[in-house]
Amino acid sequence: MNTLAYLIYFIITGFITIWVGRRFFRNGRLFILGLLRQDESLTDAINRILLIGYYLLNLGYAALMISTWETITTYTELLESITEMTARIILTLSLIHYCNMAGIYVISKRKNTFTHS
């Protein structure tokens, strides 16, 4: 039963990680571009490195969490534990996401005051 749970878990987390990563990759580019004063080649390089870092962090975390998994005997427990573990990953992801947005906001604000005064 546990093997089945790990398989389903990895499919779900992999799907979410890649989908969210692609979204961030596409929409975050503009912000880095703004911060780096329209330097396109540097922006693309940094963006790609950030994407790789994000994948590594998230998939690594997802794989680490498997060691805390309890033994499963029924289908109800299977559903319960998969949902709970996925929820943890998603919540961590959203926390990191909001921290990043706050970071972008703070940096761009500081930059603005720096250039205007």
Partner 1 sequence: MQTTFNFLAYLIYLPVVIVLTWYVAHILFRNSKVFMLDIFGGKTDIAGATNRLFETGFYLLNLGCAFYIMEISTDITETRTMLELLSTKIGGFCIYLGIMLFLNLYLFFRGRRIAKQKSRLAEAAAQLRPQA
Point out which residues bind partner 1 (CB under 8 A).
Answer: 20, 23-24, 26-31, 34, 75-76, 79-80, 83-84, 86-91, 93-94, 97-98, 101
Token code pair at residue 17: 């990680």
Cβ neighbours, 10 Å, residue 17: 19
Q: At closest approach, how far in Å is the CB of 108 from partner 1? A: 11
Q: At closest approach, how far in Å is the CB of 97 from partner 1? A: 5
Token code pair at residue 90: 């998603």
CA–CA separation, 11 and 19 (whole Å): 12
Q: Which is nearer to partner 1, 10 or 31 (CB)?
A: 31
Residues 6 or more apart whose Cβ sits within 8 Å of residue 103: none
Q: At closest approach, how far in Å is the CB of 56 from partner 1? A: 19
